[in-house]
């Protein structure tokens, strides 16, 4: 259902773009806006992995420098039949994580120091399974397409503001059509973009629970991360708010509802969906992650302690 909902939202946004483009500048104006927006977002998509990791001062680790954390990701990737992604640690005390990269072959996952210290082993595994689900679903590509269409619609709205749109008989709505293109269409595109983001989070929760085999561990992790995120700032995220949608929980502020302008679903709704999944699908469709042997050495995670989770 989440995949179908995403497809329908993308189809709606495409139709919205075509309609607005015709009202504003005919086929020529529509194509110009699409080409410019596509070029900008294609560059961002191709370089998104390294750009986002640099923004958040992420540090790459391997099996020698962080054996437990790296081992979790390695086993989960194997369960999901994914190539091994690059693994990073974020120097933030706020528990959180994200995935990036243009495709599974060029993916990276990142978890914060706070996540590794404050969550249990199973909860960390569940969070990283969620991030690998984003990789498997190619959500970076989906959101890039969405951003391209939303950007093109906004660009057409700017054209309408500066040039007044087409004033010939081919524009059946006349000045009203121009106003729609300037105000209503960009707002609608933004709302659809947010809705797609929320849909992809629900789907990553579902698939992540399958990959790790423990829906309730992910539910517990989401609850803890949201509680901590309300009181522990993530300064890199605050300085780069455009990347907030990538995190498993909004790093900027806790959301109280699935409002139209939220990039993340309400955490309570996500937990309820996972509880329902655990009740009706006790056997995950994928082999649960096999825990790696905990070394508990000072080199397990660089410069931090490995957390056993909060009671």
Q: What's the predicted TM-score (pTM) here?
A: 0.74
Residue 113 resides in a domain: yes
- The pLDDT, as a whole number, for residue 132 is 97
- Name which of 292, 290, 286, 26 is nearest 181 in CA terms: 26
Domain membership of residue 299 (yes or no) is no
- CA 206: distance to chain centroid? 14
Selected residue with higher pLDDT from 50 and 69: 69
Examine residue 305 and state whether it is found in any structural domain, yes or no: no
Helices (H) and strands (E) counted in the chain, each on its own, are 10, 4
Average pLDDT value over all residues in the chain: 77
Residue 244 lies in a domain: yes
Q: Is there a catalytic annotation at residue 238?
A: no
Provide the number of structural domains found in the chain.
1
Q: Contact, 190 vs 150, CB < 8 A? A: yes
pLDDT of residue 39: 67
Residue 189 binned pLDDT confidence (cut-offs 50, 70, 90): confident
Question: Is 293 part of a structural domain of the chain?
Answer: no
Q: What is the pLDDT of residues 113-128, one digit of tens each?
A: 999 999 999 999 999 9
Give the pLDDT of residue 299.
33
Determine, yes or no, domain membership for 294.
no
What is the pLDDT, as a whole number, of residue 285?
A: 46
Of these residues, 131, 201, 203, 226, which one is catalytic? 131
**What residues make up the domain containing 9?**
2-280
* Torsion angle defined by CA atoms of residues 296, 301, 304 and 305, in that order, rounded to the nearest 10 degrees: -30
In angstroms and rounded to an integer, the radius of gyration of the C-alpha atoms of the chain is 21
**What does the pLDDT average to over 194-206?**
89
Distance CA 201, CA 278 (A): 18
pLDDT higher at 310 or 154: 154
In this predicted structure, the answer to whether residue 300 has a pLDDT above a threshold of 60 is no
- pLDDT tens-digit readout, 216-265: 999 999 999 999 988 899 999 888 887 888 899 999 864 444 555 577 88
pLDDT at residue 174 above 70? no
Q: Residue 21 falls within a domain, yes or no?
A: yes
pLDDT at 197: 83
Q: Is residue 298 part of a domain?
A: no
């Amino acid at each position: 259902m989440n995949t179908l909902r995403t497809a329908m939202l993308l189809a709606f946004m495409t139709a919205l773009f075509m309609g607005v483009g015709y009202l504003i500048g005919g086929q020529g104006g529509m194509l110009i806006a699409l080409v410019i927006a596509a070029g900008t977002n294609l560059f961002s998509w191709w370089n998104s992995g390294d750009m986002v990791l640099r923004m958040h001062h992420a540090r790459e680790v391997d099996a020698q420098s962080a054996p437990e954390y790296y081992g979790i990701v390695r086993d989960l990737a194997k369960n999901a039949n994914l190539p091994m992604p690059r693994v990073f640690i974020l120097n933030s005390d706020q528990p959180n994580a994200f995935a990036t990269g243009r495709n599974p072959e060029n993916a990276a996952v990142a978890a914060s120091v706070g996540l590794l210290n404050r969550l249990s082993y199973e909860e960390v595994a569940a969070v990283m399974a969620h991030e690998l689900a984003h990789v498997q679903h190619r959500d970076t590509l989906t959101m890039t397409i969405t951003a391209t269409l939303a950007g093109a619609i906004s660009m057409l709205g700017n054209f309408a503001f500066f040039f007044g749109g087409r004033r010939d008989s081919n524009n059946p709505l006349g000045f009203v059509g121009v106003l729609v293109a300037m105000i209503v269409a960009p707002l609608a595109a933004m709302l659809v973009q947010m809705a797609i983001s929320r849909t992809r989070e629900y789907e990553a929760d579902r698939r992540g629970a399958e990959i790790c085999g423990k829906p309730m561990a992910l539910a517990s992790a989401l609850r803890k991360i949201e509680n901590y995120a309300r009181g522990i700032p993530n300064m890199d995220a605050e300085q780069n708010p455009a990347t907030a949608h990538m995190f498993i929980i909004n790093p900027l502020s806790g959301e109280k509802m699935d409002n139209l302008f939220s990039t993340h679903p309400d955490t309570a709704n996500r937990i309820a969906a996972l509880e329902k999944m655990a009740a009706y699908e006790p056997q995950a469709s994928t082999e649960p992650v096999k825990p790696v042997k905990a070394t508990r050495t000072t080199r397990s995670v660089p410069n931090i302690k490995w957390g056993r989770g909060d009671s």
